[in-house]
Amino acid sequence: MQKLKVLVAGSTGYIGLQLVKLLINHNNVEIKYLCGNTSIGKKIHTFDKFFKKKKLPKIIKFKKTLLKDIDIIFTALPNGGAQQISKYLLKRNVLIDLAADFRLNKAVNYLKWYKQKHKAVNNIKKSFYSLPEIHGDKVKNYNIISCPGCYPTSILLPLIPLIKKNLIDLNNIIIDSKSGYSGAGRSVHKKHKNKNLYESLSSYGIGFHRHNSEIEQEIKKITKKKFNLSFTPHLTPMFRGILSTIYVDLKKDINIKKVNMELKKIYSNKSFVKICKPNTFLSTNDVINTNFCYISVCKSKYKDKIVILSVIDNLIKGGAGQAVQNMNIKFNFPITRGLS
């Protein structure tokens, strides 16, 4: 059986740890190196007792010489880290980034939204933004793969098919998303030290959250029409999970049944997207510790408006699981391998 040699850079953050948990159960993967900056010399079980009895390498500092015997580099680093590594890639290497380094297709947009210059501008055109259920096999043509953010995953999966089929009005899309605090990374406790993360609900990034750029970019790829989209994220007093509530206006002669049927048709052969019965109330608990996205189309008190609920586990479908999905597609493995 084919075994890919893997390096994980940023292996001790919330999403890095989740990625390693998935990879050790993947039949086609051998974890060769775990890399970090502040955890060099430590064992990964220092950060999660789950790994106590697992045979994994000690954490080392990344060096470009490591790439000579590596097939895949997974990067779960602070923004800029994957850009730097991308400069050292050899022909045999595939880079799968779980951060934002290659999500935007223009360096000027990266500077605008992330407030730092892109360090590998020439590699932007060599990269591919891959939401697996939407972009499919196109990822096979690229060796730098960018995984979507957690919020955009929960939002784009229900929205893109409806926009493509011209079922909803684009003038007033309102998105309210609530995430577990793990989505903000380990530094969340420092960033929000004056807020009680365990007992309070906090809004942030109103109107200008970085994921706006990613959501808008992907919608522009499928429609030339102008659209008006408002996105507000919130941190909730739970560790993991995202619930996105999306309010949309229907086009004339379109009803909730038509919308639900179209979504079921689009995702009928997709392993990790489940379209629920209309008006099903969803909970993050439905998808925690899985790579699933559950979507429910709900009626509102107005005939021409609907409410779409979308739930994912931000660390898996919104991060590590999606990265493994992209690897599976790239190397022709069964899409569910390592994720079931």
Phi, psi angles (nearest 5°) of residue 86 = -60, -20
Question: Angle, to 10 degrees, between the axis of helix 211-220 and the axis of helix 150-164?
Answer: 20
Residue of 35, 147, 150, 276 marked active site:
150
Residues in Cβ contact with 53 at an 8 Å cutoff, skipping those fewer than 6 apart: none
Is 298 a catalytic site residue? no
**333 contacts 327 by C-beta, under 8 angstroms:** yes
- With CA atoms as reference, report the closest residue to 178 among 314, 322, 320: 314
3-state secondary structure 216-266: HHHHHCCCCCCCCEEEEEEEECCCCCEEEEEEEEECCCCCHHHHHHHHHHH
Q: 3-class DSSP state for residue 338? A: coil
The backbone torsions φ and ψ at residue 170, rounded to the nearest 5 degrees and listed phi first, read -95, 5
Kindly compute the dihedral angle of the four CA atoms of residues 128, 133, 138, 143, in this order, to the nearest 10 degrees.
40
- Which amino acid belongs to residue 245? T
* Residue in 244, 175, 248 with CA at minimum distance from that of residue 206: 175
Contact 241, 284 (CB under 8 A): yes
Spell out the residues 6+ positions from residue 269 whose beta carbon is closer than 8 angstroms to its own.
Answer: none
**Enzyme catalytic residues:** 150
